[in-house]
Structures are given as C-alpha cells and as structure tokens.
Amino acid sequence: MEVGGMCEHKVSLFENVIKQMEVARPYLPNVEDDLFEVLKYPKETLIMHLSVRMDDGKVKVFSAYRSHHNNALGPYKGGVRYHPQVTLDDVMALSVLMTWKCAVVGLPYGGGKGGIACNPKEMSQGELERLSRAYALAVSRFVGVDYDIPAPDVNTNPQIMAWFLDTYEKVKGWSEPGVYTGKPMVLGGSEGRKDATSRGGAYVTREAMKVFGIKEGATCAIQGFGNVGSFAHKLYKELLGLKVIAVSDIGGGVYNPNGFDHDKLLKVLNETGTVANYPDGDKISNEELLELNVDILVPAAIENVITEENAPRIKAKLISELANGPVTPEADKILFDKGVICLPDILTNAGGVTVSYFEWIQNRTGHYWPIQKIYEELDRMMTNAFLAVYEVHRKYNIDMRTAAYVLAIGKVAEATKVRGIWP
C-alpha cells in the first residue's frame, strides 16, 4: 500500500490487529481458546542486518525483516516494503492481516510480510539494486514457490521484484518465476497487476453501494495519491460513477466540489511532488479531508488515520479502506454506532494479492491470461468475497470488519485444527 507521513503518533499496528481479532472472538464458538491463541502470532520471524556498499564507498547497515504468520491454507504470501519507519511490529501485524485477507477472498495462501528500514528516495538506482539483492539473498532460504511468495508493497515495484527473482534463481541455479509476483511482464508478470488493488476495491465498493443504497453520482474523497489512490480516483469515477471532490497526499490536499481532471492531477503531482498544488481548488489538510461531508471516504495512505479522536467527526456514509489498518479498533465502534459502514482492508484492498495469485498460477502453468480474463476473475472473486462477508454481517448484526474477521479466522482455524498442532 502507498504511504505518506500523515500520522505523528505511532500506534502499534500489531496490537490493533489483535484487538480486532478479539472483537470477532464471541462469534467463533467452535474455535477453542488455545487454538485462538495460536492464531494471534506469527509462526516465525526473520530479522536481518544487511550490509550494503553505497556509492560513496562506505558500507551502510540496514535492518530488514520477514514474518511468516500462518500457512494452514497454503504458502505464505505478502509484500516487501521499503520505508524509513518499517519495524518488526509492523511486519508481524501485516503478515497477520495477509492471512485473513487471503482467507476472506478464498486464496490458497497464508500470510507473510517483509520490509527494509530505508529511504529509497535518497538512494541511487545502484544502491537500491545492491540493497534489494542483499535482501533477496538473505531470505532465499525462507522463500519458494510452495513456501513463501513475496511481492511489491510500499515503495517497491516490478524492477525490485526482477532483482529479487534474478538473485533467487542465481542462488538456486534454476528458473522459478512463481517465487515472486508483481514482476515485469517480460519476466512472467501478469496483465492487470498495476491497478489490481484499486480495481478490486472498486468491485467491492460497487456491491456495497447496491446493498447500502448509495447511488451513482455520490461524492467521494481519497486520502493518499500514490499508485493505489491514483487508480482509485480513475476507477471509482469510471466504474462507479462517483464524483471525487477531494484528494490528498503527504504534501496536503485539495478540495473542489466540481471534481478533478485525473490527467491534470497526475501532471501536477509529477511536476511538483504533491497534489496539493493543483490550481483549481481549495487547499485542505489530510485531517480536514477525512472529515469532509462526502458519501464515500477512501483512505488509501497509511494506518491509524481514523481514531477515537476524529471518528465522531467523520461524516461519510461508507468508508472504502484501500490502505492497511486505516481505522483503529476504538474508532470502529464509534463509526458502527453512528451507522457508518466500513468496508475493511482485508476485503477491500485484496485485489492486489488476488491478481498476484493469478500471476502465480500463470507462472506455474506457463499459460498467460488476457486482460479481460483477469478483470472477470477478479470481479468474480471480489464480489463473492463481499457477499460472504455481508452475509455474516447480517447474520450477527455486526460491523463489516468483524464479519470479515469471523469469516477468515473461522476458515484458518478449521484448517489448522484439521492439520493438528504439530510439532
């Protein structure tokens, strides 16, 4: 997911994930307490210190991580992020979220996640390549097409996946393109991967608009304008008929009740570094954007931006979570009591990992799909996942996030129980 420095207070994402699991606990009577305890924690975490020679000849040491949460349903799956604030806590939490995300959508995967504490914006292409190859070498014993399949995440891209793959294959001595997904097309990447997260979110939001009575022409605000937020602007307009009246990124935001020209927004972003410099509109802060009077709010930046402090002021009818963990557990309860519908991250932003799954299948068979098949299969899987979560939501009269956790934890618990706790 795309990020920006929009939150000063660092709340433990891992603690929040555990809190969200605990909220779902009463609706899982068939899951024993000891099994539930097992599901809270990653099975293994890898901490690395990568020595990289920089362009000035000096050697710099970078802290790096990989977390394997649960593989009862299949190999570990999850991205690798490059960000100065990457911590073991974040990586552990995100690996847990990946387990639930894969289970919600029905993918044959468990959850994994990785990261390097670095600032890629301050590094040359050569430094990035040496760092990426150091990471790929360090994790080469812990990844594999049937064990752990990493992918892009914050500040990583197809080029970095190409370096990962090349390093892995040189170490192993054979071709294994399915070990990394999100690769360049020439190395076995899939059609439709670039906008997959946003497109999957659009399909989920479309189904939610039907059942919750939100019509075409509704207003929308998007926080975060990286790859995910940018495509959300485009696709939520084109596929859902929404009117996007506010956007923001790390540099601030802009509000225009008449909406925005997508190409012009991208031009401003590329030329000035922030959408806040868009000339046709009023400047607003990220905090102000969250509290606008819109029908649909799309957090597409970082975690913990909607908290118990600002949740009472949220006016949106529906929140479409394209970021990971944008709403805290305390805010969830406030929003639910207000009647705000939250489409949870583990459902709404699962389009990326779903198309990564398609890529993995294509790599393993050597048969590559046309873009239309990618879109059709993504639509089918995201729609089915929404309907399954919505059914649990209605059955227990609980919020959509808790419903998604109930569904996901139930699946993983059943698979873990059938396998048995061993060794």
pLDDT digits (tens, 9 = 90+) for 48-77: 999 999 999 999 999 999 999 999 999 999
Q: Mean per-residue pLDDT for 306-335? A: 94
Q: Mean per-residue pLDDT for 342-362? A: 97
Whether the per-residue pLDDT at 39 is higher than 50: the answer is: yes
Whether 176 is covered by a domain: the verdict is: yes
* CATH code: domain of residue 45: 3.40.50.10860
- The pLDDT score that the predictor gives to residue 93 is 93
Whether 352 is covered by a domain: the verdict is: no
Q: What is the mean pLDDT of the chain?
A: 94
Residues that are catalytic: 113
Q: What is the pTM of this model?
A: 0.93
Whether 328 is covered by a domain: the verdict is: no
* Cβ atoms 323, 302 nearer than 8 A: yes
Whether 335 is covered by a domain: the verdict is: no
- Residue numbers of the domain that contains 136: 37-187
Whether 59 is covered by a domain: the verdict is: yes
Instruction: Please state, in angstroms and rounded to a whole number, the distance separating the CA atoms of residues 306 and 16.
Output: 13
Q: What's the structural domain count of the chain?
A: 1
Whether 157 is covered by a domain: the verdict is: yes
* Cβ atoms 231, 207 nearer than 8 A: no
Radius of gyration of the chain (CA): 20
Whether 400 is covered by a domain: the verdict is: no
The owner of tokens 């979220």 is 97
Whether 89 is covered by a domain: the verdict is: yes
Q: Is 213 left (phi over 0), alpha (psi -120 to 50) or beta?
A: left
